[in-house]
Structure 1
Amino acid sequence: MSLTVPTELPSRLWKTLTSAVGIISVRHGNRVNVMSAEWSYFVNKEPLYAAVVLSPKAVTRELLPDAGEFGLTLCSERQAELADFVGSFSVAQVDKTTSELVEFGTPRAITTPWVTGGVVALECVLRETVPFPVHTMFVGEVVACHLPDAELRPLVKHGPMHTLGGPVRRSAVVAAAAPLPNGAVRIAATGPAADGPDVWRLSLLLPDGAAVGLGEHPSGEFGDLLLDVPLPPGLPPRSAARIKVERQGAEPGYARIAPHQPDVEHPDLTTSARGHG
């Protein structure tokens, strides 16, 4: 299958990304430089790795390989002014740590101090440098962390800097269904926590409007649903039927049993754990 790739992309398409705002601290000689990095992420769970992506303009990009370590503070919403300041000037222009908004915490595992006031501060040992055509990613193993005494809300970038509101409340079930060779159907569903018993009620919806109950089933390990359900014999072709999944306190979810998109060649894919999809 061939893909059509646009010859020209909008120049600021990357601004559609939403990401944490990080402040990097890195030693150079007996001094420490700080800069903000819009692209700051966790990239591995065990061991915990964090990455920062820096442009060619960043002097820190030249300092990091020699330092072999760095501090990374994921900013709180209180640090918008500081993040803007340390991202606006180079260490070649001014020592940004002379700002009274820059306060350092004492490291435990590395020699580089970390900037206080964020939702978390990480001490990282540089493990890998990944060059891209323009930017460079620096990947560090998190060897120590520092959490604030009280929970803080993060500062995020989505074009301008933003703060976060309350959590999004899920109100609807989302479901999918796949026919199996043995005449059963595999049903997957997610949704908000049930108001009452932790069960999912399944129904087969026929073309004539009739509904065939497929029972109530408990949640799996992660609070969602994934199971194979035998279908009653003598039903019309499954391609004409739908699955309805209900959960108390939520809008029901619906799934087509027949695939919605054209068949394409692909390897067999299996997943062994949540998050591998």
Structure 2
Amino acid sequence: MSPDPQPTPVSPAPLPPTLLPPTLWKKLTSTVGLVAVPGPRGTNVMSAEWSYFVNKDPLYVAVVLGPRTASRDLIDAAGRWAVTFCAEDQAALADFAGSCSVTDVDKTTSVAVDLAPGTHTPWVRGGVLAVECELRQVVPMPVHTMYVGEVVAAHLPEQPVRPLVKHGAMYALGDPVRRTRILTATRLLPDGTLRVAATGPAVPAGSTPQWRISLLAPDGALTRLGRYPADRHGDLLVEVALPDTALPATGPVGLRVRVERDGAQAGEATVGP
């Protein structure tokens, strides 16, 4: 008699859209982009909250535009556009450029819109960075459309400025987050070698920090496993040969690794099989 067929695994059904918060996308944090596109009525400037770098080499930028956005047709026709990632003093401009349409007014008549001619495409001065892009790909989505372009020219301010941060409302950045803690993780390899990775607070340029690794037994006994240099990023990734006495007969359960470095709070991780 043939065996009973095995049941087919069933994936959990996705949540109905009605159960998802309608403003869930506002939890995203981004820098508003001012998208400038040449057209038959001159250059249009609009705000695109979803503006990102999406590839490093070559450098690509994506802007995601809604279905009623006039700039979609302009980008399709021109094959190029520019994006200025807003500085914190451009909040009013970002709001204005996202609230008016080129079908109603010429937004470049505003004294707040300072257009530069650009190498290939006009761009808005005053941001953290402006890039001119050549269209490389159009990605249709259920409602929005993503336009992906290759950066062909870039413009930086003479002095660095702080970005405008969109997170529901618009914000300016505060002080940099000060990291104090080491985070570490391990993997016990089949040959008994212990692989250890760790990151910690940034170190001064030119310094060569030393990482200290120790093994903690369940009874609190500590075995020092040595000092190891940081990699070129200041992080740690090493494979450590464990002493014969390090692993109890019961195996690695209960063992922990402690990683230390001067000027940082120690980090710990368990040692798993």
- Taking structure 1 as the reference length, the TM-score comes to 0.89
Structure 1 residues 3 and 181, CA, compared in 2 at 3 Å: closer, same or farther? farther
Alignment-mate amino acid for residue 158 of structure 1: H
Q: Does 1:154 align with 2:169?
A: no
Q: In 2, Cα distance between the equivalents of 1:26 and 1:107?
A: 12
Q: Which deviations, in whole Å up to 9, do the C-alpha atoms of 1:163-207 show, x marking residues without a partner? A: 111211110000001110011111000001358850111000000
Aligned residues: 257
TM-aligned CA deviation for residue 221 of structure 1: 2.2
Structure showing greater Rg: 2
Structure 2: tracts of 5 or more residues without a match: 1-8
- The match for 2:239 is 228
Q: Does 1:250 align with 2:244?
A: no
Q: Which deviations, in whole Å up to 9, do the C-alpha atoms of 1:33-81 show, x marking residues without a partner? A: 0000000100011111111001112111121111100011001001000
Q: Does 1:202 align with 2:213?
A: yes
Q: In 1, Cα distance between the equivalents of 2:266 and 2:110?
A: 54
Q: Which deviations, in whole Å up to 9, do the C-alpha atoms of 1:145-164 show, x marking residues without a partner? A: 11111110001100001111
Secondary structure of the structure 2 residue equivalent to 1:46: coil
Contact 1:175/1:255 (8 A) holds in 2: yes
Contact 1:194/1:247 (8 A) holds in 2: no
Alignment-mate amino acid for residue 48 of structure 2: A
- The match for 1:129 is 138
Secondary structure of the structure 1 residue equivalent to 2:20: coil
- The match for 1:45 is 56
Structure 1: tracts of 5 or more residues without a match: 260-277
- The match for 2:228 is 217
- The match for 1:66 is 77
Q: In 2, Cα distance between the equivalents of 1:66 and 1:51?
A: 17
TM-aligned CA deviation for residue 29 of structure 1: 1.6
What are the within-5 Å matches in structure 2 for residues 17-166 of structure 1? 17-108=28-119, 110=120, 112-166=121-175
Secondary structure of the structure 2 residue equivalent to 1:86: helix
Structure 1 residues 3 and 230, CA, compared in 2 at 3 Å: closer, same or farther? farther
- The match for 1:171 is 180
Sequence identity percentage: 54
- The match for 2:4 is none
Alignment-mate amino acid for residue 252 of structure 1: A
TM-aligned CA deviation for residue 258 of structure 1: 1.7
Alignment-mate amino acid for residue 227 of structure 1: V
Out of 180, 201, 222, the position equivalent to 2:189 is 180
Contact 1:194/1:248 (8 A) holds in 2: no
Contact 1:194/1:250 (8 A) holds in 2: no
Q: In 1, Cα distance between the equivalents of 2:167 and 2:44?
A: 25
Secondary structure of the structure 2 residue equivalent to 1:188: strand
Secondary structure of the structure 2 residue equivalent to 1:181: coil
Q: Which deviations, in whole Å up to 9, do the C-alpha atoms of 1:234-260 show, x marking residues without a partner? A: 32121220000011111111101127x
Secondary structure of the structure 1 residue equivalent to 2:147: strand
Q: In 1, Cα distance between the equivalents of 2:31 and 2:212?
A: 39
Q: In 2, Cα distance between the equivalents of 1:9 and 1:184?
A: 46
Root mean square deviation, CA, Å: 1.5
- Taking structure 2 as the reference length, the TM-score comes to 0.91
Secondary structure of the structure 1 residue equivalent to 2:143: coil
Q: In 2, Cα distance between the equivalents of 1:207 and 1:3?
A: 40
